[in-house]
Amino acid sequence: MRVLIKGAGDLASGIACRLYRCGFQIIMTETAIPTTVRRTVAFSRAVYEGCAQVEGIIAVLTADKEEMERAIENRQIAVVVDGLASHMDWYQPEVVVDAILAKRNLGTAKEDAPLVVGAGPGFKAGKDCHYVIETKRGHYLGKVIADGAAIPDTGIPGEIGGYSSERIIRASADGTFHPIAEIGDIVEKDEIVAKVGNVPVYAMMGGIVRGMLQPEVPVHTGMKCGDIDARCEKEHCYTVSDKARAIGGGVLEAIGTRYGLGCGVNAQTCRT
């Protein structure tokens, strides 16, 4: 079964990893300049590095249908620069997962594939997709919603290690981003961790740098550019997060519900 995942950031990549290990063929779309902060665990990195590896799974940048098909034949994930997924005619997926996490629908429609899944706020199950997956940390993370929408975005980052807004590294000005600290570095509160042009960006707390934009990315004031984790577990910088795994599990459940995977009959038969 071929799955198209719109977006190739860390959460989308967590979904891709879970589906890949279950034997699905994966295509991922991404923009020409990815802005993934947790790029060490994101297949979006393939856009500017040519290939990316997450937990032993390899994704490669592909430019056309032939390269995409070759990647799939080689048991790799195909990454395509096509932010709007405008080539649905030759992707021909059985499943589309919108994991851009834009907090709004950027153009996904229920008619895009036999099964369309939206991750997070911005989608309504039954209207513009078949299922919505809850992405907010907490009791309902990863829940499959068949009717209605996910919890609305609050604009407040989820708490990790006792910290919420403080853990986010944000651009101090409009301009070009230049990281100073690297992913995996331990930093202190008020330490300069990056610059936007000549304007310094300070850490708001101490901990390990879990995410940081790549150099030369255009940013605007207040834009998320990095992530600090107070738990200081270096392995967490290079492995899929609990949140991404939970969301990936929700997507897998949605596919199983739709197609009756694992029980030999479809879900409607199970209910009747």
pLDDT in tens, the chain (272 residues): 999 999 999 999 999 999 999 999 999 999 999 999 999 999 999 999 999 999 999 999 999 999 999 999 999 999 999 988 888 888 999 999 999 999 999 999 999 999 999 999 999 999 999 999 999 999 999 999 999 999 998 888 888 888 889 999 999 999 999 999 999 999 999 999 999 999 999 999 999 999 999 999 999 999 999 999 999 999 999 999 999 999 999 999 999 999 986 544 444 443 33
3-state DSSP assignment of residue 231: coil
Token couple for 3: 């799955």
pLDDT at 262: 58
CA atoms within 13 A on the CB side of 215: 6
Rounding to the nearest 10 degrees, give the CA dihedral for residues 46, 51, 52, 57.
Answer: 130
Phi, psi (degrees; rounded to nearest 5) at 231? -70, -20
Question: Other C-beta atoms within 10 Å of 249: how many?
Answer: 17
The residue with tokens 């944000």 is 170
Phi, psi (degrees; rounded to nearest 5) at 44? -60, -25
Classify each residue of 188-204 as buried b or exposed e, where b means 16 or more C-beta atoms within 10 Å of its C-beta.
eeeeebbbbeeeebebb
**Exposed/middle/buried for residue 18 (C-beta within 10 Å: 0-12, 13-18, 19+):** buried
| Beta bridge partners of residue 62, listed in sequence order | 80
Query: Cα angle vertex 147, ends 144, 148, to 5°?
Result: 95
- Entry pTM: 0.93
Contacts of 36 (CB under 8 A, 6+ apart): 8, 9, 10, 42, 44, 45, 211, 213
Q: Which of 29, 76, 79 is nearest to 57 (CA)?
A: 76
d(CA 53, CA 55): 7
- What is each CA distance from 1 to 9, 29, 56, 270, in whole angstroms? 22, 17, 21, 21
Contacts of 193 (CB under 8 A, 6+ apart): 169, 179, 180, 181, 187, 201, 202, 203, 209, 212, 226
Contacts of 235 (CB under 8 A, 6+ apart): none
